[in-house]
Structure 1
Amino acid sequence: MSNVETNPAALRCDAAEHGEAAPQVDVLTPRDVPLGGPRAMTVRRTLPQRARTLIGAWCFIDHYGPDDVADTGGMDVAPHPHTGLQTVSWLFSGEIEHRDSLGSHAFVRPGELNLMTGGYGISHSEVSTAGTTILHGVQLWVALPEQHRNTHRDFQHHVPNPVRVGGADLRVFLGSLAGDTSPVRTFTPLLGAELVLDPRSTTALPVDAAFEHGLLVDEGKVRMGGTLLVPAELGYLGTGNDTLTLTNESDTPARVVLLGGTPFEEQIVMWWNFIGRSHEDIVDAREAWENASDRFGSVEGHDGHRLPAPALPHATLTPRKNPTRP
């Protein structure tokens, strides 16, 4: 998915706590971002924002739907570039057609992971299929570490098996959780999983204490530790916790996406669809895309023009980093 913002707004929300023993959870609320067009499909973006730039190496979270494509036209993102990151596509309903400059032609379907590595440069398109009536899912980005940010472009597909733990059904699409491990390669320690929690249930999950975690609520009201999260909110939990306790406070099943990873200590410069380490990295990538260089290749089979890069701001782009936690 393409980030169409050039000067995004951001919010900081204070942490909510519940009980003395409950770990501190920061609650991040989304902002609405249109993907473009006269009937633009709107996504809810919770990462990045001023309160938090990264959770592990996760650097971008878009949450969309349930979206009636008859009203919005669905998703139609023309060929666009990426550098220095991996894109993670995960659907709850609908279907998206993916094409990229590797020659990959694949479909994103519910419960199936599509992971694309941009590395030094890749381009791709994403279009909801004609048979899709309701589109609903998340689009996530992972920042690549300096050692691997110019790696070769790549595409991986994986269908995780459902695992039952306590009062939850989960699918681990990246990393390891509850004894299940995804075979998909990442370049830093990461966790990504969808969980469906039984009504009025509590599930305690053993997690890596070296990880920080984010919990995005899709459906229901879920208590993370002692903090209640409602749909579209993202709860952030820092390192030092070896158990994650989730309680569904709803009378119906609740669905969440759990993301985690070791803190990403590198500062990144993130602008449009590029991640680099300096203003010059972004300028070089933008010029290469605008000049249709071989760096990004070409996407075959998409019926439309490439997305042009927006103009650079009249200021030097500076690295982003997480604020110091009080």
Structure 2
Amino acid sequence: MSHAKVEIITSREVPLGGPRAMTVHRTLPQRQRSLIGAWCFVDHYGPDDVSLTGGMDVAPHPHTGLQTVTWLFEGEVTHHDSGGNHAVVMPGEVNLMTAGAGICHSEVSTTSTTTLHGVQLWTVLPDKDRKGPRRFDHYAPPLIDIDGGQARVFLGQLLGQTSPVTTFTPLIGAEIHIAPGATVTLKVNPAFEHGLLVDVGSIHLEGVTVEPTQLAYTGIGETKLRIRNTGETCARTILIGGEPFTEEIVMWWNFIGRNHEEIAQYRSEWQEEAERFGVTHGYISHHTDGPTRLPAPTLPNAAIRARKNPAPTARPEKRID
């Protein structure tokens, strides 16, 4: 049996938020690979006992040139943004915020949340759409039965399901459960590159072991992906993918632009509370002494340059058949 090539991207622990930051596992971006399709950011967190970690409490902060995709496994998060959108993010429901030319928002786990567990993803907006208006989309995809497991398709088209959520480049996003000892075979778009993030379980993708918090990458040209659960309990994964994004981008803090000068302008406007980002109403911190908005970090001394993403071909790892 022929196998797709698989490249393993390991995660690193980073703080998310302000002075009481929660710890997340980040696989994108990094030097090894910055993009999978237009997906440019992958954070995975939990399951966290909120009584010990404090949960999520991210004060209003800005974004430009991207979409945020919030997907939870456990817990609830309140969302408020400067587009006037207010929502409670629930497990199994995708909440997608389009920054356009500029937006700011807050994210706080609810007081009823005891365990917080999920992923935070970003996608890059192409140049023709990155200066457009703010928007917010919500969708609760059905949980469908598939051979070997179950799935929810929250972006794009897969497994006969189509998400109505608006994206600006061709993308796929899905939560896939694999039953103990089973193999799920996915028919995928050969024009897409893909990434499989393992949340829990003993997973082999195309014969390659993928540990929890790791992201397994496959390049373009593949028509099938085989995900095998070698464990005795149900496994859970997130599949992302899309057509390779070929525009050069500069990504720093919460901003995506096209050069250093744009990033510096965005930072200056955020610090000056300019109209570009608007005002987020409704944010209530878990802490009375917390900041009302996150200040931007200091820019590096050297000009920020675009990262060169590798060709959309996986560098293979050792395979277990």
Tell me by how many angstroms 1:226 deviates.
1.8
Q: d(CA) in 2 for partners of 1:321 and 1:263?
A: 13
Letter in 2 for 1:305: T
1:87 aligns with 2:88: no
1:31 aligns with 2:12: yes
1:323 aligns with 2:304: no
Q: Does the 8 Å CA contact 1:216/1:258 hold for their aligned counterparts?
A: yes
Tell me by how many angstroms 1:37 deviates.
5.6
1:306 aligns with 2:296: no
Tell me by how many angstroms 1:305 deviates.
1.1
User: Which residue in 1 is equivalent to 2:137?
Assistant: 156
1:177 aligns with 2:155: no
Q: d(CA) in 2 for partners of 1:121 and 1:269?
A: 16
User: Which residue in 2 is equivalent to 1:223?
Assistant: 204
Residue correspondence of structure 1 range 63-102 to structure 2 within 5 A? 63-102=44-83
Tell me by how many angstroms 1:22 deviates.
1.9
Letter in 1 for 2:221: G
Ranges in structure 2 where 5+ consecutive residues have no aligned partner: 285-290, 316-321
Tell me by how many angstroms 1:40 deviates.
3.4
SS class of match (1:295): helix
Q: How big is each residue's C-alpha offset from its partner over 1:88-120, in whole Å with a ceiling of 9 and x where there is no partner?
A: 000000000000001111011100000000010
Q: d(CA) in 2 for partners of 1:89 and 1:301?
A: 19
Letter in 1 for 2:101: Y
Deviates more, 1:189-198 or 1:218-227: 218-227
1:211 aligns with 2:198: no
Q: d(CA) in 2 for partners of 1:37 and 1:107?
A: 21
Q: d(CA) in 2 for partners of 1:128 and 1:138?
A: 13
User: Which residue in 1 is equivalent to 2:249?
Assistant: 268
Tell me by how many angstroms 1:285 deviates.
0.7
User: Which residue in 2 is equivalent to 1:6?
Assistant: none
SS class of match (2:275): coil
SS class of match (1:160): coil
Q: How big is each residue's C-alpha offset from its partner over 1:155-196, in whole Å with a ceiling of 9 and x where there is no partner?
A: 010000111111120000000101000000100000000011
Tell me by how many angstroms 1:201 deviates.
0.1
Tell me by how many angstroms 1:36 deviates.
4.7
User: Which residue in 2 is equivalent to 1:115?
Assistant: 96
Q: d(CA) in 2 for partners of 1:222 and 1:197?
A: 9
Q: Does the 8 Å CA contact 2:18/2:59 hold for their aligned counterparts?
A: no
Tell me by how many angstroms 1:35 deviates.
2.0
Q: d(CA) in 2 for partners of 1:204 and 1:316?
A: 45
User: Which residue in 2 is equivalent to 1:196?
Assistant: 177
Q: d(CA) in 1 for partners of 2:247 and 2:42?
A: 19
Letter in 1 for 2:302: A
Q: d(CA) in 2 for partners of 1:133 and 1:259?
A: 28
Q: Does the 8 Å CA contact 2:15/2:22 hold for their aligned counterparts?
A: yes
1:252 aligns with 2:239: no
Q: How big is each residue's C-alpha offset from its partner over 1:236-290, in whole Å with a ceiling of 9 and x where there is no partner?
A: 0000001111101111000000000000011110000000010011011111111
User: Which residue in 1 is equivalent to 2:287?
Assistant: none
Q: d(CA) in 2 for partners of 1:122 and 1:256?
A: 30
Per the alignment, do residues 179 and 36 of structure 1 end up closer, same or farther by CA in structure 2, a change over 3 Å counting?
closer
Tell me by how many angstroms 1:39 deviates.
5.3
Q: Does the 8 Å CA contact 1:39/1:72 hold for their aligned counterparts?
A: no
Per the alignment, do residues 280 and 39 of structure 1 end up closer, same or farther by CA in structure 2, a change over 3 Å counting?
closer
Deviates more, 1:157-166 or 1:110-119: 157-166
Q: d(CA) in 1 for partners of 2:71 and 2:17?
A: 21
User: Which residue in 2 is equivalent to 1:241?
Assistant: 222
Q: Does the 8 Å CA contact 2:63/2:102 hold for their aligned counterparts?
A: yes
Q: Alignment identity in percent?
A: 58
Equivalent in 284, 293, 304 of residue 274 of structure 2: 293
State the TM-score, normalizing by the size of structure 2. 0.94
State the TM-score, normalizing by the size of structure 1. 0.92
Equivalent residues, number: 307
Q: d(CA) in 1 for partners of 2:156 and 2:216?
A: 19
Tell me by how many angstroms 1:302 deviates.
1.3
Letter in 1 for 2:200: E
Q: d(CA) in 2 for partners of 1:184 and 1:255?
A: 22
SS class of match (2:13): strand
